[in-house]
Structure formats: C-alpha cells, structure tokens
C-alpha cells in the first residue's frame, strides 16, 4: 500500500493524469461531434498555443478553413462568429493535449533525476510518456486525413486509431496507479474467478474502437430502428464491398450491425461471469458494478440510435464508455490479483 511521501505523490500524479485523460476523451468527443476537428488546418506546436489575437488573424484562419472540402460540403453559409465556435473546440483540444504532456513530463523528469521511480518500473512509466507524445502526432495525422481532396471528414481509420490509443493510455495509467497504490505486488491469493474477465476487458476495448468507426462513418444516422435494421436481423448489403474485410470498416450497414453484435456478446459474457462469481465476494461487487454500467450503456446506445444520435445522447454515450472501460479494467485486474 502507498505509505511514503514520495509514493503518495506518485499516486497523486498518476491519478491527476487519469482525470486529465478522461477529460481529453470527453473534449475530443465534443470536438468530433460538433464538426470542429478540421477548423485548424495547420499544426504549430509552439505558436499554436494561442488562438488568433486580431480580427485580421481570425479572418486569415477562416479563409484557410474555407479552402478545405468540409467547408463547402457542410458549412457553406458559415460566418466568422460560427467559425470561432468550432475553432475554440479544436484549439482547446490541442491546448489540453499540451497540458497533459507537461503534467506527465515535468514530474517524470523530476522523479528520474531524483531516482524516485519505483525499482524496475521505469519501462512502464516511459511507455506512458511515449504514448502520450505519439498521440499528439497521431492526432495531427488524423486531421490531415480530412484535409485532402474529396473528403469532408477525417478518416474513420485514423479516428479509431486516435481513440484507441487514448484508451490504451487510460488503461495503462489506471493499471499503473492501482499497482502503485497496492505496492506493486499480490496482496492476496487471486480468487478462483473465471478466466474470461480479460476477454471482457478486451471486448470492451474493441467495442469502443468499433464505436469510433460508427462515429467516423456517421453509421448511427442510418438504421434507426431496434432490434431490427430496416426490419431485418442482418441488414441488406452487409457484405457488398470487396474484398470482404472492407465491410468491417467502410460499409455502414456492417459497421452498425457489428457494433450491435459486440454489445450483445458482451452482455451475455458478463451475465455468465456474474453468475459464476456470485459466491466470490471480492469479485462479485466489481462484477455487479460493471454489469450495471454495461446495461446502462447499452440502453443509452439504443436510445441514441432511435433518436438519430442527438448531440447530448452521443456525448453521454461516449462519456459513459469511459467508465465502462475503467470498470472492465478493474474487473480484469481484480480477477487476476485478488483485490
């Protein structure tokens, strides 16, 4: 358990990073769902810290935005005031990323210089920093994917990659924070929990990535009935694209259907898991919490779908996904380590 002053500081640092990354995922969702992500067409690591400071600078930034395909396709009547609103979210998203980088780097360098990093754990702490740094690069390449001719959105592949890396960072931070608080070792013998807790965690992660493909292709705007899709169990055109694998990532019917099927699979695996741990006190509470969160998330997803994905429900669905993921990580870790 955390005891020394340095240990408590490391725990607080990791906890702060977890909260910052959660905030980043939420801000990223707002940026995406408000079509703000392409409002800044350049990446300036230093000078981009400040937004345009004069009317002339604002007009110049707006003119650059007018040159990309998204403007003509989705905002042809936009005025400068509207541009400032979408510019804010992308600028804030980038600024927030810089803050996360500093909150990681400064304490890490201090701990490294003072030789306070827990023995043998340097690679994990370094990996967190490398992923945070790489995420900024991935984010810019995602934006670039939407600035090319004949595109009015970022690539769904890059969007899914960007979100996927964000959740890997979150999961790694959460696991490291818990390991540090618990002394980096087993406190108890792991209970005889079912082995598929890890499978549930992996499926939750894959479902989140699948959700990014739904968002990136606007698949939630189609097939807005449930439990069927245009009165069919399997929608027409599921395998229309060739080669077949493209359907998984580019065919709206297949993308939404697969997102639904993953949710059903997760639900049934979770119910089986909950039943099997009903007599294991240490795991049962975590399993119940995860089950409640998952059922709520599925219900929210169905509600958002039927309502044709309004902004408030879309944001709530993404926000709750963060806690479903963290709960899944806690369940997985608890089944492995006994606490």
Q: Left, alpha or beta for 309 (phi > 0: left; psi -120 to 50: alpha)?
A: left
Rounded Cα gap, residues 164 and 204, in angstroms: 11
Rounded Cα gap, residues 188 and 213, in angstroms: 40
Does residue 174 contact residue 257 with C-beta atoms inside 8 Å? no
Residue at which a domain ends, from 140, 160, 185: 185
Rounded Cα gap, residues 59 and 42, in angstroms: 15
Question: Do 269 and 201 fall within a single domain?
Answer: yes
Does residue 139 contact residue 190 with C-beta atoms inside 8 Å? no
State whether residue 229 is helix, strand or coil.
strand
Question: Do 126 and 239 fall within a single domain?
Answer: no
Give backbone dihedrals phi and psi of 68, rounded to 5 degrees, phi first.
Answer: -95, 155
Question: Do 235 and 89 fall within a single domain?
Answer: no
CB atoms within 10 A of CB 190: 14
Question: Do 31 and 175 fall within a single domain?
Answer: yes
Residue at which a domain ends, from 121, 156, 185: 185
Question: Do 99 and 137 fall within a single domain?
Answer: yes
Output the CA–CA distances (angstroms, integers) from residue 215 to 12, 71, 107, 317, in the order listed. Answer: 34, 19, 35, 11
Question: Do 278 and 203 fall within a single domain?
Answer: yes
Question: Do 161 and 293 fall within a single domain?
Answer: no
pLDDT given at position 339? 58
Domains identified in the chain, total number:
2
Question: Do 216 and 136 fall within a single domain?
Answer: no
CB atoms within 10 A of CB 174: 21
Does residue 200 contact residue 327 with C-beta atoms inside 8 Å? no
Q: Find the domain containing 81 and state its range.
A: 1-185
pLDDT in tens, 177-190: 998 888 776 555 65
Rounded Cα gap, residues 159 and 53, in angstroms: 30
**pTM for the whole structure:** 0.91
pLDDT in tens, 259-278: 999 999 999 999 999 998 88
Per-residue pLDDT tens, the chain, 339 aa: give them.
556 777 889 999 999 999 999 999 999 999 988 888 888 888 887 767 888 889 899 999 899 988 888 888 877 888 999 999 989 999 999 999 999 999 999 999 999 999 998 888 999 999 999 999 999 999 888 888 888 777 778 888 999 999 999 999 999 999 999 988 887 765 556 566 667 888 999 999 999 999 999 998 999 888 999 999 988 999 998 989 989 999 999 999 999 999 999 999 999 999 999 998 888 887 889 999 999 999 999 999 999 999 999 989 999 999 999 999 999 999 998 887 765
Running DSSP on this structure, what letter comes out for residue 48?
G
Residue at which a domain ends, from 134, 152, 185: 185
Rounded Cα gap, residues 174 and 178, in angstroms: 6
Question: Do 205 and 85 fall within a single domain?
Answer: no
CA angle, 252 then 316 then 179, to 5°: 100
Does residue 162 contact residue 142 with C-beta atoms inside 8 Å? yes
State whether residue 185 is helix, strand or coil.
coil
Question: Do 221 and 120 fall within a single domain?
Answer: no
Question: Do 38 and 120 fall within a single domain?
Answer: yes
pLDDT given at position 336? 78
Helix axes 197-217 and 311-337, enclosed angle (nearest 10) = 160
Question: Do 143 and 225 fall within a single domain?
Answer: no
């Amino acid at each position: 358990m955390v005891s020394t002053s340095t240990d408590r500081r490391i725990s607080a640092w990791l906890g702060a990073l977890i909260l910052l990354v959660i905030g980043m995922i939420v801000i990223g969702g707002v940026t995406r769902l408000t079509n703000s992500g392409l409002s800044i067409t350049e990446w300036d690591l230093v000078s981009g810290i400040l937004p345009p400071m004069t009317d002339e600078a604002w007009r110049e930034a707006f003119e650059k935005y007018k040159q990309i395909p998204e403007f003509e396709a989705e905002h042809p009547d936009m005025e400068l005031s509207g541009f400032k609103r979408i510019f804010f979210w992308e600028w804030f998203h980038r600024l927030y990323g810089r803050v996360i980088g500093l909150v990681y780097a400064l304490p890490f360098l201090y701990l490294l210089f003072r030789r306070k990093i827990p023995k043998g754990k340097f690679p994990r702490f370094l990996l967190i920093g490398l992923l945070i740094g790489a995420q900024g690069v991935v984010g810019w390449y995602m934006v670039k994917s939407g600035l090319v001719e004949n595109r009015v959105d970022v690539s769904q592949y890059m969007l899914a990659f960007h979100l996927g890396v964000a959740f890997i960072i979150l999961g790694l931070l959460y696991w490291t924070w818990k390991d540090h608080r618990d002394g980096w070792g087993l406190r108890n013998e792991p209970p005889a929990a079912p082995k598929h807790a890890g499978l549930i965690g992996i499926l939750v992660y894959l479902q989140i990535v699948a959700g990014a493909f739904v968002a990136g292709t606007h698949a939630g705007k189609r097939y807005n009935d449930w439990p069927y899709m245009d009165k069919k169990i399997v929608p027409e055109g599921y395998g229309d694209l060739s080669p077949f694998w493209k359907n998984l990532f580019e065919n709206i019917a297949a993308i939404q259907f697969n997102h639904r099927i993953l949710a059903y699979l997760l639900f049934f695996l979770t119910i089986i898991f909950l039943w099997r741990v009903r007599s294991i006190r240490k795991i049962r509470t975590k399993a119940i919490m995860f089950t409640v969160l998952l059922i709520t998330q599925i219900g929210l997803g169905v509600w958002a779908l039927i309502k044709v994905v309004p902004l408030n429900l879309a944001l709530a669905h993404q926000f709750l996904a963060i806690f479903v993921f963290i709960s899944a990580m806690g369940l997985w870790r608890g089944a492995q380590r006994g606490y």
